[in-house]
């Protein structure tokens, strides 16, 4: 059995009554891209900081590579690359000074990957960080996170400030990273990016996980809208009686239905009524994510 790279079980950290995370649990397997989604202030960064040993938890259990991120923090952080959501660099130092110093701390002697990343992201290294745009600072942050070829990447809003070309380059880098057998924990607001990159994801809201699933699983669970047109008015009751089918609208021989799961029972029910036309709209993951964002913890959307 494969051992998870990250195990989080019942993790709780409170800042006052309303802020923090409560009873958060999930696992990340080796070689996967695990997405972590949620609205602002939901607890994404808090969870990440707990995993890196920056915050001390109030309750719960965490393991990274089978180690305790607090007690074995040095060993854990040696194998982790981290890009914080609000990257703060030293304003007076140049990008090169940052990279040199941090490479030295990590005992990095082979700078080949670092130089390749600098070239790939066209990172500006010779001006003080305070003179750089947000995107250019973010490039330095990405190089700092990836340059030591870590086994686990923890990336909090990694493409924030990057132009579309570099976002593509970043996505290529993530694909190469997992192809290499390494693992990525990706917190993001970019639903497009999440759909393209992640294998599994958790959605956090108000400090609690509301769902953990594969993107494909969520897509299957996402409601699709199907509309039939009939030659004459139809009775919606046979459709409403079907499992996982909801009648949205029914008038003048037209019926709109929301379907989750298989469409076969619905098609059979419609077929006996001789439909004239049918249209179907694919599952809208964006809408599904947003409905989870709006839902109260523990409720399905």
Partner 1 sequence: MSNDVALLDLRLRRRSMIGYTVGMAVYAFVIVALYPSFRNDTSLNQFTENGSTVAALFGANGPLTTPAGWLNANMYANFVPLVVLLLTIGYGGSCLAGQDEDGTLGLVATLPLSRRRIVLEKTATMSLQAVPVCLVTMLCVLLGQGFDLTVPLTGLVGVTIGTVLLGIEFGALAMLIGAVTGSRGAAVGLASTIAAAAYLISSLAPVVPWLHPARFASPFFYAVGDGQLTDGLSVPDAAVLLAVAAALTGACLAAFDHLDVH
Based on the shown chain and the rule CB under 8 A, indicate whether residue 56 belongs to the binding site for partner 1: yes
Based on the shown chain and the rule CB under 8 A, indicate whether residue 109 belongs to the binding site for partner 1: no
Single out the residue of 6, 28, 42, 80 in contact with partner 1 (rule: CB under 8 A): 80
Based on the shown chain and the rule CB under 8 A, indicate whether residue 108 belongs to the binding site for partner 1: no
Give one DSSP letter per residue of the chain, joined into a string. -PPPSEEEEEEEEEETTTEEEEEEEEEE-TT-EEEEE--TTSSHHHHHHHHTTSS--SEEEEEETTB-TTTTHHHHHHTEEEE-SS----TTSBHHHHHHHHHHHTT----HHHHHHHHHTT---SSBGGGS-HHHHHHHHHHHHHTT--SEEEEESTTTT--HHHHHHHHHHHHHHHHTT-EEEEE-S-HHHHHHH-SEEEEEETTEEEEEEEHHHHHHHS-EEEEEE-SS---SHHHHTSTTEEEEEEETTEEEEEE-S-SHHHHHHHHTT--SEEEEE---HHHHHHHHHHSPTT---
Q: How far is the CB of 131 from partner 1 (least distance, A)?
A: 17
Q: How far is the CB of 77 from partner 1 (least distance, A)?
A: 5
Q: How far is the CB of 32 from partner 1 (least distance, A)?
A: 22
Stretch that binds partner 1, among 78-86, 167-175, 243-251, 273-281 (CB under 8 A): 78-86
Residues 138-157 touching partner 1, rule: CB under 8 A, are 144
Based on the shown chain and the rule CB under 8 A, indicate whether residue 161 belongs to the binding site for partner 1: no
Based on the shown chain and the rule CB under 8 A, indicate whether residue 277 belongs to the binding site for partner 1: no
Based on the shown chain and the rule CB under 8 A, indicate whether residue 90 belongs to the binding site for partner 1: yes
Stretch that binds partner 1, among 24-32, 90-98, 119-127, 266-274 (CB under 8 A): 90-98
Which one, 51 or 173, has the nearer CB to partner 1?
51
Based on the shown chain and the rule CB under 8 A, indicate whether residue 158 belongs to the binding site for partner 1: no
Stretch that binds partner 1, among 82-90, 168-176, 204-212, 237-245 (CB under 8 A): 82-90
Based on the shown chain and the rule CB under 8 A, indicate whether residue 88 belongs to the binding site for partner 1: yes
Based on the shown chain and the rule CB under 8 A, indicate whether residue 184 belongs to the binding site for partner 1: no
Based on the shown chain and the rule CB under 8 A, indicate whether residue 73 belongs to the binding site for partner 1: yes
Binding site for partner 1 (CB under 8 A): 49, 52-56, 73-75, 77-78, 80, 82, 84, 86-90, 92-93, 97, 101-102, 104-106, 144
């Amino acid at each position: 059995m494969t051992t998870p790279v990250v195990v989080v079980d019942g993790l709780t950290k409170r800042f006052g009554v309303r802020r923090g995370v409560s009873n958060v649990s999930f696992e990340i397997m080796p070689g996967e891209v695990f997405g972590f989604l949620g609205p602002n202030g939901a607890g994404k960064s808090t969870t990440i900081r707990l995993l890196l040993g920056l915050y001390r938890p109030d309750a719960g259990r965490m393991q990274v590579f089978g180690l305790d991120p607090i007690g074995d923090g040095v060993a854990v952080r040696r194998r982790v690359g981290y890009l914080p959501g609000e990257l703060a660099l030293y304003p007076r130092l140049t990008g090169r000074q940052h990279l040199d110093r941090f490479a030295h701390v990590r005992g990095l002697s082979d700078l080949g990957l670092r130089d390749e990343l600098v070239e790939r992201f066209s990172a500006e290294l010779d001006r003080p960080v305070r003179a750089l745009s947000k995107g250019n600072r973010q490039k330095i942050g990405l190089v700092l996170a990836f340059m030591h070829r870590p086994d686990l990447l923890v990336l909090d809003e990694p493409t924030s400030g990057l132009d579309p070309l570099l976002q593509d380059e970043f996505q290529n880098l993530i694909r190469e990273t997992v192809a290499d057998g390494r693992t990525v924990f990706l917190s993001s607001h970019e639903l497009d990016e999440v759909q393209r990159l992640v294998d599994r994801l958790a959605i956090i809201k108000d400090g609690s996980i509301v769902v953990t699933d594969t993107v494909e699983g969520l897509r299957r669970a996402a409601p699709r809208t199907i509309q039939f047109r009939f030659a004459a008015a139809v009775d919606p009751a046979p459709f409403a009686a079907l499992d996982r089918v909801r009648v949205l609208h029914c008038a003048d021989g037209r019926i709109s239905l929301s379907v989750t799961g298989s469409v076969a029972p619905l098609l059979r029910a419609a077929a006996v009524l001789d439909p004239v036309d049918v249209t179907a709209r694919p599952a809208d993951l964006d809408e599904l994510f947003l409905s989870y964002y709006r839902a109260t913890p523990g409720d399905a959307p």
